[in-house]
Structure 1
Amino acid sequence: MKKTEEISRLPDTELEIMKVIWNGEKILSTAEIKERLEVRRSWNISALQTLLNRLIERGFLQSYKEGKNRFYIASVEETTYLALENKLFLNKVNNNSLTKLVASLYDSRAISENDLDELAAYIRNKTGGET
C-alpha cells in the first residue's frame, strides 16, 4: 500500500469511485462498481472504464482480468487518503489549527455539544487522560 506522501488528491468523480471500492468487498468487477455507483446517478461504462484506468495509472488501483471480467483492488487505503485530504484541508483553510477548525464547526452549528463531548473523550483516551 502507498504512503500519504506518495499519493495525490483525487478529482471528485475518481473519489466517488474509490469510495465505492473502499466500501465494497476487497475485489470488485467493473459491473459491480457501475451498479453501486448507479445508486446515485447513471454511469456510462466507457467513461467509467476511462476513470478506472486513470486510477490505475495514478497508483490508486490494481487490476486483473479473469475471463471477460476485469476486477479492481485498492492500492491506497481509505485511511491513508483521508489523512492526506484532512491534512491539506487543515493547512489550507485553518492554518494547521485544529482549534480553529473545531471552533468554526461549532459556531456554524455543524457539530453539537455532544460531538464536542465525544471529541474530548477521544482525546482523553488517546492521551491517557492527560490534557
Structure 2
Amino acid sequence: MRKAGEISRLPDTELEIMKVIWNEAKSLSTSEIKEKLEIKRPWNSSALQTLLNRLIDRGFIESYKEGKNRFYIAVVEENAYLALENRLFLNKVNNNSLTKLVASLYDSRAISQNDLDELATYIRQKAGGENI
C-alpha cells in the first residue's frame, strides 16, 4: 500500500469510484463497480473505464484480467487518503487550526454538545489522560 505523502487529491468522480472499491475491501470487476455506482446515478461504461484507467495511472488501484473480466483492487488505503484530504481541508479552510474547525462546526450546529464530549474523551485517551 502507498503512503499519504505519495498520493494526490482525487477529483470527485474518481473519489466516488474509490469509495466503492474501499467499501468492498476486495477485488471488483468493472461491472460490479458500475452496478454499485449506479445505486446513486447512471454511469456510462466508457467513462467509467476511462476513470478506472486514470486511477491506475495515479497509482490508486491495480487491475488484472481473469477470463473476460477485468478486476480492480485498491493500492492506496482509505485511511491514508482521508488523512491527506483532512490535512488539505484543515489548511485551506481553517488555516491549520483544529480549534477553528470544531468551533465552526459547533456554531453552525453541524455537531452537538454530545459530539464535543465524545471528541474530548477521544483527545484525553490519545493524550494518555484519564477516560471519563
Amino acid at match of 2:81: Y
CA offsets, 1:54-73, max 9 Å, x none? 00000000000001000001
Deviation per CA, 1:15-42: give whole Å up to 9, x if none.
Answer: 0000000001411110110000000000
Q: How many residues of Structure 1 are paired with residues of Structure 2 in the alignment?
A: 130
Secondary structure at 1:65 match in 2: strand
**Alignment match, 2:13:** 13
> Structure 2 length normalisation: TM-score?
0.96
Q: Deviations over 1:50-89 (max 9, x none)?
A: 0000000000000000010000010100000000000000
Across the aligned residues of Structure 1 and Structure 2, the Cα RMSD in angstroms comes to: 0.8
TM-score normalized by the length of structure 1: 0.97
* One-letter code aligned to 1:66: E
State the shift of 1:122 in Å.
0.5
Please state whether the residue corresponding to 2:73 is helix, strand or coil.
strand
Identity score, percent:
82
The 1-side partners of 2:37 and 2:109 are apart by 31
Cα distance in structure 1, aligned partners of 2:63 and 2:109 = 43
After TM superposition, the runs of 4+ consecutive aligned structure 1 residues lying more than 2 A away are none
Query: Where do 5+ consecutive residues of structure 1 fail to align?
Result: none
Aligned to 2:38: 38
Equivalent position amino acid for 2:123 in 1? I
1:108 and 2:95 are equivalent in the alignment: no
Question: 1:25 & 1:88 partners in 2: Cα distance?
Answer: 25
1:2-81 equivalent positions in 2, closer than 5 A: 2-81=2-81
- Which ranges in structure 2 are unaligned for 5 or more consecutive residues? none
